[in-house]
Protein backbone atom coordinates (compact mmCIF):
# COMPACT_ATOMS: atom_id res chain seq x y z
CA UNK A 1 0.00 0.00 0.00
CA UNK A 2 1.05 3.52 -0.66
CA UNK A 3 1.55 5.79 2.30
CA UNK A 4 -0.35 9.04 2.39
CA UNK A 5 1.89 11.87 1.28
CA UNK A 6 2.53 14.15 4.21
CA UNK A 7 2.68 17.90 3.86
CA UNK A 8 6.28 18.96 4.07
CA UNK A 9 7.44 22.53 4.02
CA UNK A 10 11.23 22.83 4.10
CA UNK A 11 11.06 26.45 5.26
CA UNK A 12 9.07 25.43 8.34
CA UNK A 13 11.46 22.54 9.03
CA UNK A 14 14.44 24.90 8.86
CA UNK A 15 12.66 27.43 11.05
CA UNK A 16 11.99 24.69 13.61
CA UNK A 17 15.73 23.95 13.72
CA UNK A 18 16.38 27.64 14.36
CA UNK A 19 13.65 27.72 17.02
CA UNK A 20 15.22 24.77 18.83
CA UNK A 21 18.68 26.31 18.52
CA UNK A 22 17.43 29.58 20.02
CA UNK A 23 15.74 27.80 22.90
CA UNK A 24 19.07 26.10 23.63
CA UNK A 25 20.90 29.44 23.36
CA UNK A 26 18.49 31.03 25.82
CA UNK A 27 18.89 28.14 28.28
CA UNK A 28 22.67 28.37 28.06
CA UNK A 29 22.58 32.15 28.36
CA UNK A 30 20.40 31.97 31.47
CA UNK A 31 22.77 29.42 32.99
CA UNK A 32 26.05 31.20 32.20
CA UNK A 33 24.81 34.76 32.64
CA UNK A 34 22.67 34.35 35.74
CA UNK A 35 24.82 36.83 37.70
CA UNK A 36 25.54 39.11 34.76
CA UNK A 37 22.10 39.57 33.21
CA UNK A 38 19.58 41.64 35.15
CA UNK A 39 16.38 40.13 36.52
CA UNK A 40 14.13 41.86 33.99
CA UNK A 41 16.33 40.68 31.11
CA UNK A 42 16.25 37.09 32.45
CA UNK A 43 12.47 37.32 32.63
CA UNK A 44 12.26 38.50 29.01
CA UNK A 45 14.57 35.68 27.94
CA UNK A 46 12.38 33.16 29.75
CA UNK A 47 9.30 34.65 28.09
CA UNK A 48 10.94 34.33 24.66
CA UNK A 49 11.82 30.73 25.45
CA UNK A 50 8.19 30.00 26.35
CA UNK A 51 6.91 31.69 23.18
CA UNK A 52 9.40 29.78 21.05
CA UNK A 53 8.31 26.49 22.62
CA UNK A 54 4.69 27.33 21.81
CA UNK A 55 5.37 28.32 18.22
CA UNK A 56 7.12 24.99 17.53
CA UNK A 57 3.68 23.42 17.33
CA UNK A 58 2.60 25.61 14.42
CA UNK A 59 3.39 25.61 10.71
CA UNK A 60 3.26 29.32 9.90
CA UNK A 61 6.78 30.16 8.67
CA UNK A 62 6.20 33.94 8.60
CA UNK A 63 5.02 34.00 12.19
CA UNK A 64 7.97 31.83 13.28
CA UNK A 65 10.42 34.04 11.41
CA UNK A 66 9.01 37.23 12.92
CA UNK A 67 9.22 35.89 16.47
CA UNK A 68 12.71 34.53 15.83
CA UNK A 69 13.96 37.86 14.48
CA UNK A 70 12.75 39.64 17.61
CA UNK A 71 14.12 36.95 19.93
CA UNK A 72 17.47 36.77 18.16
CA UNK A 73 18.19 40.47 18.48
CA UNK A 74 17.44 40.26 22.20
CA UNK A 75 19.54 37.10 22.60
CA UNK A 76 22.46 38.64 20.69
CA UNK A 77 22.43 41.73 22.90
CA UNK A 78 22.59 39.60 26.04
CA UNK A 79 25.20 37.23 24.60
CA UNK A 80 27.43 40.20 23.85
CA UNK A 81 26.93 41.45 27.41
CA UNK A 82 27.89 38.07 28.86
CA UNK A 83 30.92 37.70 26.58
CA UNK A 84 32.21 41.16 27.52
CA UNK A 85 31.83 40.24 31.19
CA UNK A 86 33.99 37.14 30.74
CA UNK A 87 37.21 39.17 30.35
CA UNK A 88 38.48 37.97 33.73
CA UNK A 89 38.03 34.34 32.61
CA UNK A 90 40.03 34.66 29.39
CA UNK A 91 42.87 32.29 28.65
CA UNK A 92 44.93 31.56 25.55
CA UNK A 93 43.91 28.45 23.67
CA UNK A 94 47.56 27.73 22.87
CA UNK A 95 50.79 29.11 24.28
CA UNK A 96 51.91 30.09 20.75
CA UNK A 97 48.65 31.88 19.93
CA UNK A 98 46.97 35.11 20.89
CA UNK A 99 43.49 33.65 20.41
CA UNK A 100 41.51 33.31 23.63
CA UNK A 101 38.62 31.10 24.66
CA UNK A 102 36.30 34.13 24.53
CA UNK A 103 37.38 34.74 20.92
CA UNK A 104 36.42 31.18 20.03
CA UNK A 105 33.04 31.47 21.75
CA UNK A 106 32.38 34.83 20.10
CA UNK A 107 33.26 33.59 16.62
CA UNK A 108 31.18 30.44 17.01
CA UNK A 109 28.27 32.59 18.13
CA UNK A 110 28.69 34.74 15.01
CA UNK A 111 28.69 31.59 12.87
CA UNK A 112 25.45 30.38 14.45
CA UNK A 113 23.82 33.79 14.01
CA UNK A 114 24.75 33.94 10.32
CA UNK A 115 23.48 30.42 9.65
CA UNK A 116 20.20 31.17 11.37
CA UNK A 117 19.69 34.42 9.47
CA UNK A 118 20.38 32.57 6.23
CA UNK A 119 17.86 29.85 7.08
CA UNK A 120 15.24 32.50 7.87
CA UNK A 121 15.88 34.17 4.51
CA UNK A 122 17.02 37.41 6.10
CA UNK A 123 19.29 39.89 4.35
CA UNK A 124 22.89 39.17 5.31
CA UNK A 125 25.77 41.60 5.57
CA UNK A 126 28.98 40.77 3.71
CA UNK A 127 30.60 39.42 6.87
CA UNK A 128 27.54 37.30 7.64
CA UNK A 129 27.64 35.90 4.08
CA UNK A 130 31.24 34.84 4.70
CA UNK A 131 30.21 33.09 7.90
CA UNK A 132 27.18 31.42 6.31
CA UNK A 133 29.09 30.33 3.22
CA UNK A 134 32.66 29.77 4.38
CA UNK A 135 31.82 28.66 7.91
CA UNK A 136 34.95 27.32 9.63
CA UNK A 137 37.29 28.76 6.99
CA UNK A 138 36.16 32.27 7.92
CA UNK A 139 36.81 31.64 11.61
CA UNK A 140 40.19 30.06 10.92
CA UNK A 141 41.26 32.99 8.73
CA UNK A 142 40.25 35.49 11.44
CA UNK A 143 42.26 33.61 14.06
CA UNK A 144 45.21 33.29 11.67
CA UNK A 145 45.16 37.03 10.95
CA UNK A 146 44.96 37.86 14.65
CA UNK A 147 48.00 35.70 15.41
CA UNK A 148 49.86 36.94 12.34
CA UNK A 149 49.30 40.62 13.14
CA UNK A 150 50.24 40.17 16.81
CA UNK A 151 53.41 38.27 15.88
CA UNK A 152 54.27 40.93 13.32
CA UNK A 153 53.78 43.71 15.89
CA UNK A 154 56.00 42.01 18.46
CA UNK A 155 59.01 41.66 16.09
Q: How far apart are CA 15 and CA 64, in angstroms?
A: 7
* Mean pLDDT score across all residues of the chain: 81
pLDDT one-digit tens code per residue, 2-23: 444 444 677 888 889 889 999 9
How confident is the model over 109-123, as a mean pLDDT? 79
Question: How much is the pLDDT for 123?
Answer: 74
Dihedral angle, C-alpha 48, 50, 56, 58, nearest 10 °: -90
Is the predicted pLDDT of residue 1 greater than 60, yes or no? Answer: no
Q: Kindly report, residue by residue over 71-106, the tens digit of the pLDDT.
A: 988 998 998 888 888 777 777 777 777 778 788 788
pLDDT of residue 117: 82
DSSP 3-state helix, strand, coil percentages of the chain (rounded to 5)? 75, 0, 25
What is residue 37's DSSP assignment? S
pLDDT tens for 26-74 read 999 899 888 889 989 999 999 999 999 999 888 888 888 889 989 988 9
Domain definitions of the chain by residue range? 10-88, 90-155
40: number of Cβ within 10 Å: 8
Q: Would you state the torsion angle of the CA atoms of residues 39, 85, 101, 68, taken in this order, to the nearest 10 degrees?
A: 40
Amino acid sequence: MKEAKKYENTDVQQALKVVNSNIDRIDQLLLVGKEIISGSERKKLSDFSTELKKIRLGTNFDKMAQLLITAQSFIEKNEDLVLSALDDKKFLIDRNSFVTNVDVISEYSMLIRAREKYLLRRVLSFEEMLYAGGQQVTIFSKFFMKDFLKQFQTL
